[in-house]
Amino acid sequence: MRKIFLTVAAIIVSVVPAMGEIQRYGSLTADVPPGWTLEKQGSVFVIKSLTKNASVAVAVNSLGEASLTDIAERLYTQMGGSNLERDSDGDYSFIYTNTSGAVGMAIITDSGEGRYILMSVTGYENEELQGEIDAIVDSLDWDD
C-alpha cells in the first residue's frame, strides 16, 4: 500500500498539510480535513470536499485473471484517460476528466495477493486544496 502513496508523492508537489480528524470506515483509515467527508460508495472509499469539486477515492479489487496492464488499459479506456504512463515500479497513471468536468489523476498499482489498488484524485489544480489533498493521501491506511 505504501508504494501507491510514494508514487503519488513523487507526482504531486508537497505543501503544508491541513490538520483534520482521523476517521475509520471499514478497513480504511484517513485524516479527513474539516469540510470533507469520508463515505463508502460500493467498493470505493471516497473522501470529498463538501464545498469544492475535489475528492480522493481509493478502491482495492481483485485482479482476477487479468494482469495489472490489462486493468490499467481497461480503466484508461473506461475513464476516457490521456497520457497513460508506467513508472519504474510498474505502477500506471493517467489523467482523466470526470462527469462533473473536474480533471483528475488515476493511479493503479499491484497491492499483492492478486489485488490491485485504484486511487483517483480530483481538484488538485485548485491551489487552496493541495495541502488538504496531500494530507489525505499521506494519511491513507488500509487494513487487510
Compute the C-alpha angle 125/111/132, nearest 5°: 25
List the CATH number of the domain containing 37.
2.60.120
Cell of 111: 497491492
Scanning the structure block, which residue is given the C-alpha cell 510498474? 90
Half-sphere exposure of 13 (CA within 13 A, CB side): 4
Give the percent of the chain with pLDDT over 90.
40
Tell me which residue range forms the domain holding 59: 2-142
Q: How many domains does the chain have?
A: 1
Examine the pLDDT at 144 and tell me if it is beyond 70.
no
Helix/strand/coil percentages in the chain, nearest 5: 25, 40, 35
pTM reported for the whole predicted model: 0.77
Confidence category of residue 96, pLDDT binned at 50, 70, 90: very high
